[in-house]
Chains A and B, each alone.
Chain A
C-alpha cells in the first residue's frame, strides 16, 4: 500500500514538472520567440482516488514467545531417542531432560505427559511395556532433577504411533523415542 502511495506521489511530481516548467529566463540577446504552440493536452489523470480500504485479518498480536516454543530454547526440543533394546537416557539427551525438569521446578503448575515409543518388531503389548520403560526412565530422571511426581505422567504408545513409517533401520531408530508434551498442548 505504501508502495502504491509513493508511486502516485512520484507521478504527480513528474506531472507538475512538465505542466509548469520553472520560469527559466531566456538568455539575453536571443531573439524573443513566441511561446511554443500548445500541443494537444493529455487527458488529465486523477492523482488520488478514494481512500484504499484496509483489510484487517482477524488475530491477535503474537504473544511473547513461550520458552517451550522458542526454537532457540532447549525446551522446544521434546524427543529423546533410544538405542535398540535400550531404555536408559543417553548422555546426549541429559541436558534436554534436565532443562525440562528445571522448567517443572520453576513452574509448579505445569504438567507433563511423557509418551514412550518403540519400533514395530515384536508383540504389540510387549512393545507397549517397553515404551513404558523408556517413558519411566525419562520420568525418573526428571524427578531426580526437580520435577514433582504429581507434575509428570509417563505413558506408552508402544509401536502404535510411529513417527517414521517403513521397516528400515532408519525408521526404527526414529521410533525408539520418548516425547515430552505439556498439558494443554
Chain B
C-alpha cells in the first residue's frame, strides 16, 4: 500500500518545503509500525453459547515466522462465538490426514476439530492443507488447501478462519476484511488500514491537519475522507493501490461526510456552498454535483441503504438532531428516530433490517440499534463517549470509537450486544473507524 503525506500547502511556491515535509512524514510513517505496537484486541464479553473447537497445531507450521494455527484460533476466539480448547501435546506431528481419536475429543467436549499441515513447495511457496471435523458426528465436514507466498501467512490464516467460521455458523466470516481508522499522535494524524484482527497495519495518509470520516468504496480499493489540510474541510477519494488522491468535493464553504453509493459510482456528500449544511450527490470523480434534499436546518451524515434505495441522514429540521431518510433519487423525507433528543450517525446493517446510530442518554453517547420493521430499539453499549459506528460486512459486529481513561480507543460490540471487544494501541488517540467490505475472491 502506498503512503501519501500532506502538510498544509498554501501555494505552489512552497513545493520544495512541502516535499521535504512529505519526505519527513513518509519516513516517520515507515518507522511507525516499528515504534508503536499494533492494535491489540481484548475480548470483554462473549456470546452465551460458544462453540468448543480444538485447533491442533499444524504439522510443519514451524517453518514460517508465525504459527498459522495460532492465528486461526485467535480469530475464532475473538469473534466471541468460539471457545478454543486446550490441545494436548502429541509425540508425532498431526496432519489433516492423521486419524482422529473422536472418543478422546468427545471426552474433551469438543464440537469441532481442525487438523492441518504446512509444507514448503519446490518453487519457494508453501502449501497449507486442513480438514474440519464434526466431533459428535465423527465426520469431516470440510477441508481446503491454499498455496501461499511466505508474506501471505496472515492473509491465508484469516481465509482458513473465514472458512471454518462459515461452515460452523452459517454466516460469512470477516477475518479477511480490513478496517480503516485515524490515529492522532501529538500533532500528527494518520489514516491507517489494518487487518480486522488489528494486525498488519499500514499508513495510507499522514498529515499535520485533521482527517475524519473515512468511507470505504464498495470494492475496497478506495477510501473517501475529509481532510483539513487547506484550512477547511475538503472531500478526497484516495486509491489504496497507488496512493493517488483526487478531490471529490471542494466547493466554497465546507465539504464533508462522504458516503458511497452501493455501486461505487457516486458519493453522497454534505456541502455548505449554497448556505447551511445540505445533502448533495457527486460522481466519485467529483463531477456532476447535484442537490439531493433541501431543508432550513442541518442535514448531514448521509448513508445509503445497502439496496441503494434510501439515504439515511441526520437532520435537526425538527428542532433536535434526529435520523431521517429520503429516497436516493429524491422525494419525500421520513423521520426514523423519535425517542430522545439527540440521535445521530445512522448506519444501516448490511441486511438492511436494522439501523445502528449514536443516541444521547442522560449526557452519555451510546450505540443504539433500531429494528426497522418492529421499531424496537436496543442500547448496545454502556460506555459514554461513543462515536462513528460501523458494521462488519456480515452484520455481526459493530465497530465504534469511544474514550476510555481520556484516550480515544476503538471497541466493537456484536449486534446482539453480547460480544464486546476493546481495541487499543500503545500510544495515540484512535478514532473514526470504518469497517471495510468483503474482499472479492
- Chain A residues in the interface with B (C-beta under 8 A): 113, 115, 121-126, 128-130, 132-133, 136, 153-158, 160-161, 167, 181
Q: Which of B70-78, B195-203, B253-261, B419-427 contacts A (4 or more CB under 8 A)?
A: B253-261
Q: In the assembled complex, how far is the CB of residue B322 from the closest CB belonging to chain A, in whole angstroms?
A: 11
Q: Beta-carbon contacts of B295-323 to A below 8 Å, as 1s and 0s? A: 00010110000000000001000000100
* Contact B233 A155, beta carbon cutoff 8 Å: yes
Report the number of A-B residue pairs with Cβ-Cβ less than 8 Å. 93
A132, B212: Cα distance in complex, Å? 16
* Contact B300 A124, beta carbon cutoff 8 Å: no
- 8 Å CB contact of B212 from A115, A124, A130: A124
10 A-B residue contacts at CB 8 Å?
Answer: A124-B212, A124-B388, A125-B344, A126-B344, A133-B276, A154-B253, A155-B231, A155-B233, A158-B212, A161-B210
Q: A129-B300, A132-B254, A167-B406 are in contact. List 10 more A-B contacts (CB 8 A).
A: A123-B301, A124-B388, A125-B301, A125-B314, A128-B233, A128-B256, A153-B253, A155-B233, A156-B272, A157-B210
Q: Beta-carbon contacts of B408-441 to A below 8 Å, as 1s and 0s? A: 0000000000000000000000001000000000
Once A129-B300, A155-B254 are accepted as A-B contacts, the answer to whether A122 and B212 lie under 8 Å apart by CB is: no
* Contact B432 A128, beta carbon cutoff 8 Å: no
Once A115-B232, A154-B253 are accepted as A-B contacts, the answer to whether A125 and B270 lie under 8 Å apart by CB is: yes
- Chain B residues in the interface with A (C-beta under 8 A): 210, 212-213, 226, 228, 231-233, 252-254, 256-257, 270, 272, 275-277, 298, 300-301, 314, 321, 342, 344-345, 358, 360, 365, 387-388, 406, 432
Q: Who on chain A is nearest to B432 by CB?
A: A124
Q: Who on chain B is nearest to A184 by CB?
A: B10
* Contact B231 A133, beta carbon cutoff 8 Å: no
Q: In the assembled complex, how far is the CB of residue B395 from the closest CB belonging to chain A, in whole angstroms?
A: 22
* Contact A129 B231, beta carbon cutoff 8 Å: no
* Contact A125 B345, beta carbon cutoff 8 Å: yes
Q: In the assembled complex, how far is the CB of residue A165 from the closest CB belonging to chain B, in whole angstroms?
A: 11
Q: Who on chain A is nearest to B232 by CB?
A: A155
Once A113-B231, A132-B272, A157-B228 are accepted as A-B contacts, the answer to whether A126 and B300 lie under 8 Å apart by CB is: yes
Q: In the assembled complex, how far is the CB of residue B10 from the closest CB belonging to chain A, in whole angstroms?
A: 9
* Contact A125 B300, beta carbon cutoff 8 Å: yes
* Contact B270 A129, beta carbon cutoff 8 Å: yes
Q: In the assembled complex, how far is the CB of residue B105 from the closest CB belonging to chain A, in whole angstroms?
A: 49
Q: In the assembled complex, how far is the CB of residue B194 from the closest CB belonging to chain A, in whole angstroms?
A: 21
* Contact A124 B254, beta carbon cutoff 8 Å: no
* Contact B358 A156, beta carbon cutoff 8 Å: no
* Contact A132 B276, beta carbon cutoff 8 Å: yes
Tell me which residues across on chain B come within 8 A of A155, comparing CB atoms.
231-233, 253-254, 272
Tell me which residues across on chain A come within 8 A of B212, comparing CB atoms.
124-125, 128, 158, 160
A130, B276: Cα distance in complex, Å? 9
Q: Who on chain A is nearest to B10 by CB?
A: A184
* Contact B298 A130, beta carbon cutoff 8 Å: yes
- 8 Å CB contact of A129 from B213, B232, B298, B365: B298
A158, B270: Cα distance in complex, Å? 14
A16, B51: Cα distance in complex, Å? 108
Tell me which residues across on chain A come within 8 A of B231, comparing CB atoms.
113, 115, 155, 181
Tell me which residues across on chain A come within 8 A of B277, comparing CB atoms.
128-129, 132-133
Tell me which residues across on chain A come within 8 A of B257, comparing CB atoms.
125, 128
Tell me which residues across on chain A come within 8 A of B226, comparing CB atoms.
128
* Contact A161 B228, beta carbon cutoff 8 Å: yes
Q: In the assembled complex, how far is the CB of residue A17 from the closest CB belonging to chain B, in whole angstroms?
A: 62
Interface-centre pick from A121, A125, A155, A167 (highest chain B CB count, 10 A): A125
* Contact A126 B301, beta carbon cutoff 8 Å: yes
A167, B233: Cα distance in complex, Å? 24
